[in-house]
Amino acid sequence: MGLGADKLEIRHNWQFDEVKALFDQPFSDLIFQAQCVHRQHFDPNTVQVSTLLSIKTGSCPEDCKYCPQSNRYDTGLEKEALLEIETVLEEAKAAKASGATRFCMGAAWRSPKQKDMHHVLQMVRGVKELGMESCMTLGMLSVDQAEELAGAGLDYYNHNLDTSPEYYCDIISTRSYQDRLDTLANVRAAGLKVCCGGIVGMGEQPDDRVGLLLQLANMEEHPESVPINRLVRVEGTPLEVGDDLDPFDFIRTIAVARILMPISHVRLSAGREEMNEQMQALAFLAGANSIFYGEKLLTTPNPAANKDKQLFQRLGINSEKYESQRCPQGDELALLDKLEKAHNDAFFYDATASK
């Protein structure tokens, strides 16, 4: 049973000035507000854990200026054809054994070719058979492709807006903002859950961060998952050099996302490798309740799994076994509590053993 809609104030009519005012509050007031919203809808000490795998790497025809996988930039990345299904499932099994509950597969495509769909659908079925949640990010999708993925049992589709409509053209020229919105509409229409967020620290203005969150928060339905990526600067990309975003402005972005989208999972996404533990703790305090877990994102490093386990232990954070916002009752709750405990014992086993 979900929380009654009457208990939630979920708005889809935010105004630019209101969102800007949220950002511009004193830092402590903003974090307090975000934490209050977070506690109304989630267990504040539970974080969802997803593992990423690049199933097709490099040679992408798109020109996203942040991306090491675009064929326009010489980033020294080793390209890889679409992985074999068995290889992907081995990685998924390892991710599950290490404590991840969702397996996210990403491909460096503008959009999937029909000839690859069969292959990709089998990956989804295989991951589902392992008892994990599945997520894919394959670029633009047609209505039919979204339906095929939903038919195979895919849970989430990730497709980011990346930045505000105004700044977008400074970052990508090969596909439009509207193309992205169209794919997101196709994903929704097929009944898939939406994972949609963006990247901050790309030289955008504060108003662009307002603009990005405004787009997400005013969607008819909020994305169930909102990844906030902090730009990972990769040598050879046009964004290799630039001014870094003030860490507090990154935390503010998380906090405002939490306030605007109270029942969405907000993911502290790319960029954790460059953050210290205190900054990550602040992000959790600001309402982030999901991470990418495992040594690699798609092509760039992420903190070691054991380091994350130790961080969770030090902060008293549990890894989410089931969607914590569902509020199960009675026997179901007791059963889920038992599962949650077993899940966490397994999750922390390595971290404790290595202490």
CB nearer to ligand SF4: give 231 or 251: 231
Output the smallest distance, CB 123 to ligand SF4, in A. Answer: 17
| Measured CA distances, 344 to 19, 86, 167, 334 (Å) | 37, 28, 42, 15
Distance separating alpha carbons of residues 316 and 185, to the nearest angstrom: 38
Selection from 145, 157, 50, 41 nearest residue 99 by Cα: 50
Residue of 229, 318, 325, 344 that binds ligand SAM (CB under 6 A): 229
Pick the stretch among 36-44, 119-127, 231-239, 276-284 that binds ligand SAM (CB under 6 A): 231-239
Q: Can residue 299 be called a binding residue for ligand DTB (CB under 6 A)?
A: yes
User: Distance from CA of residue 131 to its chain's centroid?
Assistant: 20
Assign 232 to helix, strand or coil. Answer: coil
Contact map string, positions 325 to 344, toward ligand DTB, x by CB under 6 A: --------------------
CB nearer to ligand SAM: give 75 or 306: 75
Contact map string, positions 107 to 126, toward ligand SF4, x by CB under 6 A: -x------------------
Kindly identify the residues of this chain, within the stretch 182-201, that bind ligand DTB according to CB under 6 A.
197
Q: Which residues carry out catalysis?
A: 60, 64, 67, 104, 135, 195, 267
Selection from 164, 166, 50 nearest residue 103 by Cα: 50
Kindly identify the residues of this chain, within the stretch 51-90, that bind ligand SF4 according to CB under 6 A.
60, 62, 64, 67, 69-70
**What angle is formed at CA 117 by the lines to CA 94 and CA 72, rounded to 5 degrees?**
85
Going through the chain in order, the beta strands assigned E by DSSP cover: 46-56, 102-107, 133-137, 156-158, 193-195, 198-200, 225-230, 265-268, 290-292, 318-319
Q: Can residue 105 be called a binding residue for ligand SF4 (CB under 6 A)?
A: no
Adjacent-strand bridge partners of 47: 319
Contact set with ligand SF4 (CB under 6 A): 60, 62, 64, 67, 69-70, 108, 139
